[in-house]
Amino acid sequence: MSTPLSQERAGILVVDDRPDKHVVYRAILEELGQDLVEATSGEQALKHVLHRDFAVILLDVNMPGLDGLDTAALIRGRKRSAHVPIIFVTADYGDEIRTARGYSLGAVDFMMSPIVPEVLRTKVKVFVDLYLLARQAKRQAEESAALAAERIARDAAERASRQSAFLADASAALSGSLIASATTRALARLAVPFLADVSALTLVEAEGVEPVTELAWTDPEAPSGIATEALQTTAWLGWRHAVERVITSGKLETFTPSHVLSITAGAGSGSPMVLPRGPQITALALVPLIARARTIGVLSLGMGPSERAFDSELLDVATDLAGRAAIALDNAFLYRTLHEQDRRKNEFLAMLSHELRNPLAPITNAAHMLQPNETDPRRITWAKEVISRQVRQLARLVDDLLDVSRITQGKIELKIESIEVSEVVNAAVETARPMLDSQEHALAVVLPAQPLRIKGDFTRLAQVLGNLLNNAAKYTDRNGRIELTVGHEESQIVFRVRDSGIGIPPDALGTIFELFAQVQQTLDRSRGGLGIGLTLVKRLVEMQGGTVAAHSEGYGCGSEFVVRLPEAIDAAPTKTSLTQSKPGGESVDASYRVLVVDDNVDAAESMAMILRLDGYVVQLAFDGEVALDAVRNLAPDAILLDIGLPRMDGFQVAERIRALPSCASTLLVAITGYGQPEDLERSRRAGFDRHIVKPIDPSLLTQMLAEHCRSRTTVNSTENVVPLRKRPAAN
Ligand code: ADP
């Protein structure tokens, strides 16, 4: 509230060295009702003007010391008092030089002494009134500025609370669904009319997301006041290009009316943009939706009928909304991916049990055949073949599963070396041969005339090609034609596995390398499989610095898988070799004794049976304690020791055996399901000579024993038999 003019008091400074004059001034000016401040010297006057404002200063020109004119000069020189009106009082009005100096110092008047009371009072009153009016005007201006600021702050607070409420509602609406399309629609609707008259949400085409633009606009005729539409394509090229630009840059863009006209010029008219139909757009803002540093869509906001413009505050709210929407949509996409993975996993588990059960029936039947009263050698051979084939199939499934999990955990280590291409091709064909033969396919292998070398891991490369050949055989109807060609293209070795089989539909080509992915199969799943073979192929090839791609013209048109790997520049001889010296013809020393230790009685007994057939003296132990007794009594030449024993595990047993002087040259073999470098290292530390990963190939086992029996010094390394230490020569 401003103080009324009459209640305010102005300061009047009277400067005169004579006290009697002060009495006179007081008598004259008292009735003005203002604050009369007296000074008897220039110095005193200066002190007063330092501390308060005055409406007018009455200044005696003739004073001892600092005279009136010098005092005036000093008063003028100070910022606070630079403009205070000064009335000089002098008895010497005729001195023109002093008068001129007085005016130049800002005097507003000169009064002759003796003073005429009426005249002085009137003059002083004029300045007092002027001063009070100016003060009041200033105060009023300050008050209205404060009022305006308060109103602005209140408006801003109201707007902020409306915006917060809008954003809170928006968040609730956006998080209401994990379905991307529902979230998209919700967002387009939310923006209208709070943020704009028209809104359009365009999502970037991603996996499983259609490139749809959802529109919403104010429509007085629509029941809810908002009309919506989903557009598959956008006719306004300029707008589409702007959306694409924002997707690439991830930066907000705004368009003024003239911009809007220019971007609609792409439509050929140059007329106002109508988006999507109905309202005319006069201003446009494109806000990117960014989630995890990726632009996943663009929210286009248009102004038209409301004639609003996009100010920075509105754009801030739009950006905030876009941020929340991006998170909601990203969540919806992630949920969809998780859902899909979960579906595949469930499907996989169903398939897995199917695939694991499959071999069990023939094995049971074959075991039934092998009754003691069965004497027909053909039936016995058939049963044996069935069992070994089905066990191989089971082992392959388990191997693949283990490989996938090891690769996923980054636990596979490759032995990259220079490999002779024809050798690895032979190994792969050998693996796939049973499948190719059972389907009576014709296989053509085309190798270049010149020997080629490749950089890779022999075993894993053979596995890759073997997998592709197996698939070719599996997904080609009986009597098909399969071709494996190897070529040399720009310092790469290219393997092509082509088949005349069922082919792959174009929409599945992009996903078949994913884990558990399978092209829709018939219900009986006659071709089997777990959907992990190609995942393994891809990861193994990539780990070796190569690529793999699938091609097919579609159903019934056959398929082609192309693997590209770097050529080995050096001509170094192959270090890896799968050639295994066959044990054929060795005669076993009848005194060679083997101790088999395994808590799985069936496993121990079947192994003993195989070894006895080969002429070894075999003893069994089903736990560590018994094994140690047996070692002391039997003094075996070789001990096959399962690691996973109850109570005392294989490592502990091995350490105790190694401590016995009589067992210094005994061949100590670890039998285990684990073949990682750390497992091998543990076996070595426990004193094992060899580390065999289950399932054990009986021929490799007998070969190893035969060689030990023969030389009792060294044993060759084979694929899953790992030598751990150089053994001392037997005496
Ligand atoms: P699986 O064969 O165990 O199902 P893969 O990962 O090896 O798993 O293959 C994935 C899918 O790719 C298969 O289920 C099959 O639908 C398809 N596929 C693979 N190889 C071929 C091929 N040579 N011809 C046709 N389809 C194939």
DSSP 307-328: -----HHHHHHHHHHHHHHHHH
Using alpha carbons, select from 725, 627, 711 the residue that is nearest to residue 680: 725
Q: Which residue has the tokens 């001990």?
A: 639
Those residues whose C-beta lies under 8 Å from the C-beta of residue 144, and which sit 6 or more positions away, are none
Query: For residue range 406-452, what is the model confidence (pLDDT) as tens digits?
Result: 777 777 778 888 899 999 999 899 888 888 998 999 999 998 888 88
Mean local confidence (pLDDT), 100-105:
82
pLDDT category at 142 given cuts 50, 70, 90 is very high
536 lines ligand 1 (CB under 6 A): no
Q: Is 416 left (phi over 0), alpha (psi -120 to 50) or beta?
A: beta
- In the chain, the percentage of residues whose pLDDT exceeds 70 is 86
* Comparison of pLDDT for 271 and 222, the residue scoring more: 222
d(CA 397, CA 726) in angstroms, rounded, equals 34
The answer on pLDDT for 575 being more than 50 is no
Q: Which residues contact 91 (CB under 8 A, 6 or more apart)?
A: 62, 112, 113
Q: What is the pLDDT of residues 165-193, one digit of tens each?
A: 888 888 887 777 777 777 777 888 888 88
The HSE-up count of residue 646 (CA atoms within 13 Å, CB side) is: 7
Cβ of residue 202 lying under 6 Å from some atom of ligand 1: no
| pLDDT higher than threshold 90 for residue 106 | no
* DSSP one-letter code for 573: P
pLDDT for position 579: 30
d(CA 238, CA 54): 68
Interval 659-696: pLDDT, tens: 888 888 899 999 987 777 778 888 999 999 998 887 77
Contact predicate 669/688, CB 8 Å: yes
Query: So what's the pLDDT on residue 727?
Result: 43
Distance CA 200, CA 159 (A): 24
pLDDT at 478 over 90: yes
The answer, yes or no, to whether residue 708 has pLDDT greater than 80, is yes
In whole angstroms, give the CA distance from residue 298 to residue 250: 9
Ligand 1 centroid to 205 CA: how many Å? 27
Question: At which residue do the structure tokens 């044990």 appear?
Answer: 583
Instruction: Say how many Å lie between the CA of residue 492 and the centre of ligand 1.
Output: 25
pLDDT at site 266: 47
Identify whether the C-beta of residue 215 lies closer than 8 Å to the C-beta of residue 230.
yes
Which of 400, 499, 525, 534 most suits a substitution to test ligand 1, by most atoms within 8 Å of the C-beta? 534
Q: What is the Å distance from ligand 1's center to 478 Cα?
A: 16
The finding on whether 500 has its CB within 6 A of some atom of ligand 1 is: no
- Of 61 and 351, more confident: 61
The greatest distance separating any two alpha carbons of the chain, rounded to the nearest whole angstrom, comes to: 160
The secondary element (H helix, E strand) that includes residue 414 is none
Mean pLDDT of the region 510-521: 80
- Backbone phi, then psi, for 512, in 5-degree steps? -65, -20
Q: What is the DSSP letter of 32?
A: G
Whether the pLDDT of residue 584 is over 50: the answer is no
Q: How many separate helices (H) and strands (E) can be counted in the chain? A: 20, 26
Please report which confidence band the pLDDT of residue 268 belongs to, taking 50, 70 and 90 as the band edges.
very low
* pLDDT tens profile 51-62: 999 999 999 998
Nearest to 532 by CA among 456, 471, 482: 471
> How many Å lie between the centroid of ligand 1 and the Cα of residue 518?
6
Amino acid at 406: R
Q: Quick one: which of 484, 482, 481 has its CA closest to 496?
A: 484
Per the DSSP assignment, residues forming a β-bridge with 11 are 35
Please tell me the residue having the least CA distance from ligand 1 atom 3.
529
Burial 713-728 (b: 16+ CB within 10 A, else e): eebeebeebbbbeebe
**pLDDT in the model for residue 206:** 60
Q: Is any ligand 1 atom within 6 A of the Cβ of residue 475?
A: yes
CA of 392 to the centre of ligand 1 (A): 20
The separation between CA 396 and the C-alpha centre of its own chain, rounded to angstroms, equals 35
Residue 224 pLDDT more than 60? yes
Q: Are 226 and 218 in contact (CB under 8 A)?
A: yes
Tokens of 552: 């097919």
620, 576 Cβ separation under 8 angstroms:
no
Q: Is 502 in the pocket of ligand 1 (CB under 6 A)?
A: yes
Residue type (1 letter), 37: V
The answer to whether residues 679 and 661 touch, using CB atoms and an 8 Å cutoff, is no
Predicted local confidence at residue 728, as pLDDT: 44
- Determine how many CB atoms are found less than 10 A away from the CB of residue 266: 17
Strand intervals (E) in 666-716: 667-672, 690-693
Asked whether 480 lines ligand 1 (CB < 6 A), one says: no
Name the range with the highest mean pLDDT among 370-379, 437-446, 625-634. 437-446
Say whether pLDDT at 487 is over 70: yes
By three-state DSSP, how is residue 173 classified? Answer: helix
Q: Are 429 and 469 in contact (CB under 8 A)?
A: yes
Cα-to-centroid distance, 512 and ligand 1 (Å): 7
Distance in angstroms (rounded) separating the CA atoms of residues 385 and 274: 76
β pairing state of 667-672 and 638-642: parallel
Residue type, 555: Y
Q: What is the rounded distance in angstroms from the CA atom of residue 5 to the CA atom of residue 166? A: 49
From the CA of 529, give the closest atom in ligand 1.
Answer: 3
- Residues 465 and 495: their CA atoms lie apart, in Å, by 8
Q: How confident is the model at residue 722 (pLDDT cuts 50, 70, 90)?
A: low
Please identify which residue in the block is written with the tokens 């990539």: 542
pLDDT at 479: 94
What ligand 1 atom has the least distance to the C-alpha of 503?
25
Could you say which DSSP state residue 199 is in? E
The average confidence (pLDDT) of the chain is 82
Q: What is the pLDDT of residue 212?
A: 67
Query: Has residue 725 got a pLDDT over 60?
Result: no
CB 534 near ligand 1, within 6 Å: yes
Q: What is the dihedral of CA 334, 339, 340, 341, to 10 degrees?
A: 90
Q: What are the φ/ψ torsions at residue 443 (nearest 5 degrees)?
A: -110, 125
pLDDT at residue 574, rounded to an integer? 38
Tell me the C-alpha distance between 338 and 358, whole Å: 30
Whether 531 lines ligand 1, by a CB cut-off of 6 Å, is yes
Say what the pLDDT of residue 525 is: 46
From residue 441, give the alpha-carbon distance in Å to each of 534, 559, 651. 21, 15, 48
**pLDDT above 60 (res 698):** yes
Q: Which of 389-393, 483-487, 602-606 has the highest mean pLDDT?
A: 483-487
The most confident of the ranges 9-13, 208-212, 726-730 is 9-13
Decide: pTM greater than 0.85: no
d(CA 581, CA 171): 71
Angular region, 72: left φ>0, alpha ψ -120 to 50, beta rest: alpha
Residue at 688: amino acid letter: F
What's residue 380's pLDDT?
Answer: 87
Q: What are phi and psi of 224, to 5 degrees?
A: -95, 0
Residue 251 has pLDDT above 60, yes or no: yes
For residue 534, report the distance from its CA to the centre of ligand 1, in Å: 7
* Percentage, residues of the chain above pLDDT 90: 32
512 lines ligand 1 (CB under 6 A): yes
Tokens for 14, please give them: 């009277």
Task: With a cut of 50, say whether residue 379 has pLDDT above it.
Answer: yes
User: Which residue matches tokens 């110095």?
Assistant: 43
Structural contact between residues 642 and 623, judged by C-beta atoms closer than 8 angstroms: no
Residue with tokens 């070595």: 684
Q: How far is the CA of 452 from the centre of ligand 1 (A)?
A: 29
Binned at pLDDT 50, 70 and 90, residue 317 comes out as: very high
Peptide bond connecting 661 to the previous residue in cis, omega within 30 degrees of 0? no
pLDDT for position 207 = 47
531 Cα nearest atom in ligand 1 = 8
Least Cα distance to 577 among 419, 396, 452, 705 occurs for: 419
